[in-house]
Structure formats: structure tokens, C-alpha cells
Amino acid sequence: MTINVVVNGAAGRMGREVVKAIGQADDMSIVGACDQVSIGEDAGSLAGIGPLGIKIQSELAEVLVQTGAQVVVDFTEPASVLQNVHTAIRTGVRVVVGTTGLTQVDLEEIDNAAYAEDVGVLVAPNFAIGAVLMMHFAEEAARWFPHVEIIELHHEAKKDAPSGTAMKTAEMIGRSWENRGAAPIESTIEEWESLPGARGGKLEGIHIHSVRLPGFVAHQEVIFGLPGQTLTLRHDSTNRESFMPGVLMGIRRIGDIRGLVYGLDKLLF
């Protein structure tokens, strides 16, 4: 059975990749496209796969109702993603979210709303299979390493910092320590920053450093240290195509979800 999908943020870089990936999939079809730019243009032409007869519109709620969509994929902006998800839930449409910037309070609100409407929502900080495996391996390595820092590197247009992937990685490492009754070992050396922020932000006792430069897409290093050795886990997405297998997996599996699932790892392991 073909899955009818609306792409929200279809004119953006990730949105165009999603349009292309769905257009090439045999078991799904694009029935609508939304964005606040390129309104009236053909979503397929923007994605480089030729006209699809799907014009980009600006009002998500109208598109969801008019098209009878089963799933909406959201790659928009941190400022609008929460409203977009609630719009989809109210219309009974399942949601696959790749937009980052949602807070823990936002996620709890989404979970409650989705359960109330019997709708599934998947929020994934990263859809690259390799990145999900990196986070999983980091959680395992944390059993043996109480010292770790995270460096994430993204393109200059990414608005939020740190990335959702870095924050989820820190949360997973913290969970690993908590399950063992352990904790990060705090340095006994008195530190100071002659330049505020030089040591990055801190989550779960872990320093996170964000880099924003042209030439990057999405990259992360998790560096563990013990006396006399280091262990580095690194993942690189050099093209947005790397995220598409995970997005398609999310679309295919979202029908089995009720409420919120946070992280693609929940579908892999």
C-alpha cells in the first residue's frame, strides 16, 4: 500500500532531499508540499527530479486536509516545528520530525497530545544510520570511560547549537553512567576561561563544543580519555543524502507508533 506523504519545508536543502528520496521510493508518494518560500513552484522541479505536479503551498493545515495525507515529514525551523507538529496531530496525521530545537517540555507536550489523538510522532535528532550507531557505541563506551567531551561541526547556516545529536549523545552517555551508579569524574584542577565559553557548554557533566563553518554538513566526534589512551568515535555526513534511508525508515514505521518516539535508535535496536 502506498503511503501518502506531505513534505513540510520542501524548498529547503533537507526538504528537497526528502522530496527526491520519496519520489524514488516505490511504496510512498508525495501528495503535498509546504514552505514559506518558493510558493507556487513545483516541488519536484526544485528537488531536481522533474515536475511532480505538486505545487508548494504555505498553509500546512490546509494541505494536510486537502490531500488526505497519512504522514508529514517536517524539516523546517526550530521556531515553527512545535506548532507544525500540533497542527498535524490535530488533523490525525502522523509526523516524522528532523527539525531540531525541541525542548524536553516540548517533547512531553507532543507525547501527551499524540497519545490523546492516537497519532504517532517520531522525532530524530539525526537520521543518518551511522550517526545513530555512533551514539549507541558512545553509550557502550561510557561504561568504561568516565572522561568524555563532544565536538560537533555543522554548516554555517545551522541556527541551533549545540546540535540535537550532540545533546542526545550526552544524554545517552549520562544514562549509561546512571545505570551503573557512576558519574563523570570532575576535574580537580581549578579552571578558568579567559575567553568565556572557551570550554563549550555542559550537559550531563559533559563539555560540548559547536563549530559552524562553510564546507561542513553534519559531523561529530565523541572523545573519551583515560590515562595513557583516548578513544575517538566520529561520524561524518558529507551529503544530505546520508539522512534519507533513516527518513524513509521513519515514514514506513511511523504507523506502528503511538505517542512520541524520540530517536531513530528506537527503531534500530
For residues 46 and 88, state if they share a domain: yes
| 168 tagged catalytic | no
Q: State pLDDT tens for residues 34-70.
A: 999 999 999 999 999 999 999 999 999 999 999 999 9
Look at residue 82 in the predicted model and tell me its pLDDT.
Answer: 97
CATH number for the domain spanning 8: value is 3.40.50.720
Residue 245 has pLDDT above 90, yes or no: yes
For residues 31 and 64, state if they share a domain: yes
For residues 253 and 192, state if they share a domain: no
For residues 140 and 217, state if they share a domain: yes
Residue 108 CB partners (closer than 8 Å, separation 6+): none
For residues 177 and 91, state if they share a domain: no
Q: What is the mean pLDDT of residues 220-237?
A: 97
Which residue is catalytic, options 55, 86, 155, 158? 158
| 136 tagged catalytic | no
Domain count, the chain: 2
Cis amide leading into 162 (omega within 30): yes
Q: Do the Cβ atoms of 40 and 266 come closer than 8 Å? A: no
pTM above 0.85, yes or no: yes
Q: pLDDT-derived band of residue 183, with 50, 70 and 90 as boundaries?
A: low
For residues 8 and 106, state if they share a domain: yes
Residue 89 has pLDDT above 90, yes or no: yes
* CA–CA distances in Å: residue 107 to residues 6, 165, 262: 22, 15, 8
Q: What is the mean pLDDT of residues 98-120?
A: 95
For residues 40 and 71, state if they share a domain: yes
Which residue is catalytic, options 154, 168, 209, 219? 154
For residues 186 and 119, state if they share a domain: no
For residues 21 and 110, state if they share a domain: yes
For residues 115 and 26, state if they share a domain: yes
Q: What is the mean pLDDT of residues 134-154?
A: 96
For residues 79 and 162, state if they share a domain: no
Domain coverage including residue 89: 3-123+241-268
Q: pLDDT-derived band of residue 182, with 50, 70 and 90 as boundaries?
A: low
